[in-house]
Structure 1
Amino acid sequence: MKEIDCRGLPYLKIIREIKKYFNSIGEGEAIVIVNSELGRSNVLRYAAHKGYQLDEENEENRFLIKIEKRGCLEVEDEGEIFSILITREKLGEGDDDLGKILMNEYFEVLNEYDKLPKEILFLNSAVKLFHKDSMAMEEIRLLYKKGVNLLINDTSLEHYNLTDQITFGEITSMYDMVVAMKRAKKLIRL
């Protein structure tokens, strides 16, 4: 049985290690070792979402989670098409620096997720995410390379004087963005 030692790793690295192993096999099992309650709960949530069988053993400062992949189906409806509307360059209210860090983390997690959005629409100050100094730029570029359609509002780009910064994605009018919003079966707004 494969042992995946994730002690001391942050959430995204733990999930990447688990995904890497289970994506490389048809069926099988592994013991995942984490040393925090947060790591434990994230592993359990991820594995349950994937439909994997779980068993766990808790020792002092160490959680052993047995994950089995046996003809599992994901719980999520794979047929659901969704789009994301982003209207700000940061996530949440309050501290701007923290909001930018959280937005970058959002795109990192989105890149790790199995079901990607069909489109991401960028309006208002969200177009600043395409500035060359944006910490989220590479994560957004990776989504584009994976086939996510990026619609960037032309009026917003002009307002922030960023039109020349766009090297990928599609610069579109408000009309095209409204059409994209209407055709989305599910629209998530950040």
Structure 2
Amino acid sequence: MKIIDAMGKACPVPVVLAKKAAAELALEGGEIQVLVDNQPACDNLKNMAEGNGYTAEEEMLHSGSYRVTIKVPAKAQEQLMIQSVKEGIPIRKKDSGLVVVVSKNYMGQGSEELGKILIKGFLFSLTQLETPPKAVLFFNSGVLLTVEGANTLDDLLELEKAGTQIKICGTCADYYSVKSTLGVGQIVNMMAITEQMASAGSVINI
């Protein structure tokens, strides 16, 4: 049995940790216990488990503390691969063709403070994809996510290490006076950004 202490960890970290543990148990099967401190984390863990053919049970330990027990059946991953082959679904792509465009340093509309938490979680989630994006493009205030000291820098460095191209609008970097403090990626012009988007298999705009 694997025990994961995800207390105090923001979304999507509890789910990511549970998925990694489940992958390690995929052939032989086993049980995972995840400790979390909020109901949404419990719901996300149960949704992940059910979506992958596992079972999940939630238990409140005390106020604000929960344990989610996930049971991974033996050879679940092997069965998934066999099913994918039968259905003609590719198991893994070497190049997803995905380009992610980040135009601001927060995610969504409404609270900018919440949006900064969400963009951190989103970029971290990109590092957990089986096949990373082909490129992540930054312009306007999105370039602020690429500077030294940004809480998103480690995630972007991890993406770059995995082969993702990190490209930063030079005009935007000049506007925000951050060229000298960039911690990742390369400066490009708008034509290069346009060409990257035009040739993408799919594009996500943030």
TM-score (norm 1): 0.80
**Correspondence for 1:29:** 29
Task: Give the C-alpha shift of residue 185 in structure 1.
Answer: 0.8
Task: Give the C-alpha shift of residue 170 in structure 1.
Answer: 1.6
1:116-165 deviation line (CA, Å, top 9, x unaligned):
21100101111111232322122212211221101111111111111112
Amino acid at match of 1:54: Y
Where do residues 39-50 of structure 1 align in structure 2 (5 Å cutoff)? Answer: 39-47=41-49
Where do residues 13-28 of structure 1 align in structure 2 (5 Å cutoff)? Answer: 13-24=13-24, 27-28=27-28
1:23-46 deviation line (CA, Å, top 9, x unaligned):
445612122334665334322433
Tell me whether 53-62 or 111-120 shows the greater mean CA deviation. Answer: 53-62
Equivalent position to 1:85, from 101, 112, 118: 101
Structure 1 residue runs of 4 or more that deviate by more than 6 Å after TM superposition: none
1:82-110 deviation line (CA, Å, top 9, x unaligned):
11011001112333332222211211222
SS in 2 for 1:188: strand
How many equivalent residue pairs?
A: 187
Answer yes or no: is 1:127 the counterpart of 2:143.
yes
Answer yes or no: is 1:137 the counterpart of 2:162.
no
Q: Once the two structures are aligned, what percentage of the paired residues are identical?
A: 21
Distance 2:111 2:128 in 1: 26
Amino acid at match of 2:140: N
Task: Give the C-alpha shift of residue 181 in structure 1.
Answer: 0.3
Are residues 110 and 158 of structure 1, via their aligned partners in 2, closer, same or farther at CA, if it must alter by over 3 Å?
same
What 5-or-longer segments of structure 1 have no aligned partner?
A: none
**Correspondence for 1:4:** 3
Equivalent position to 1:173, from 175, 189, 203: 189
Equivalent position to 1:156, from 164, 172, 179: 172
Distance 1:54 1:109 in 2: 21
Task: Give the C-alpha shift of residue 54 in structure 1.
Answer: 1.7
Contact 2:101-2:203 at 8 Å conserved across structures: yes
Tell me whether 114-123 or 34-43 shows the greater mean CA deviation. Answer: 34-43
Contact 2:127-2:159 at 8 Å conserved across structures: yes
